[in-house]
Structure 1
Amino acid sequence: MTASERPVASPCVNICALDDDDICTGCQRTVEEITRWSRMTNDERRTVLGLCHERAKASGLIWMLPSKSDN
């Protein structure tokens, strides 16, 4: 992280509960990702955010928005 680069913000939404796979139902991070977050580089954090997004899509928590061409 460069001196001018701001830290990537945590995806925590203060809904802290683990599912059966030990993934937080609020932010979709694993226990390891949560505990390591403060020591991760911004690149690592961006990777984790991508994984969280994929987990949320796979679990049905988020849906793909229709593209403008679908209207």
Structure 2
Amino acid sequence: MLGATGPDSDSSASKDPSEWVTGDEPMTGAQRSYLDTLAREAGEEISADLTKAEASEQIDRLQKATGRGQ
């Protein structure tokens, strides 16, 4: 359910990225674009050949580092 106030254990968004069925596929264009923005804001360089799961983990880390996504 979208917009729920609590965690939804059935949601793919709540699964650990390492458990994603498509986690080994290359990151999406949207992930690449957002990671580029976050990395620039954090003053970091991130590999451009991440998987979807790796990109998701980097996004989570950089969101915390930059104060985004709170």
TM-score normalised to structure 2 length: 0.42
Give the number of the structure whose residues are more often helix, by fraction.
2
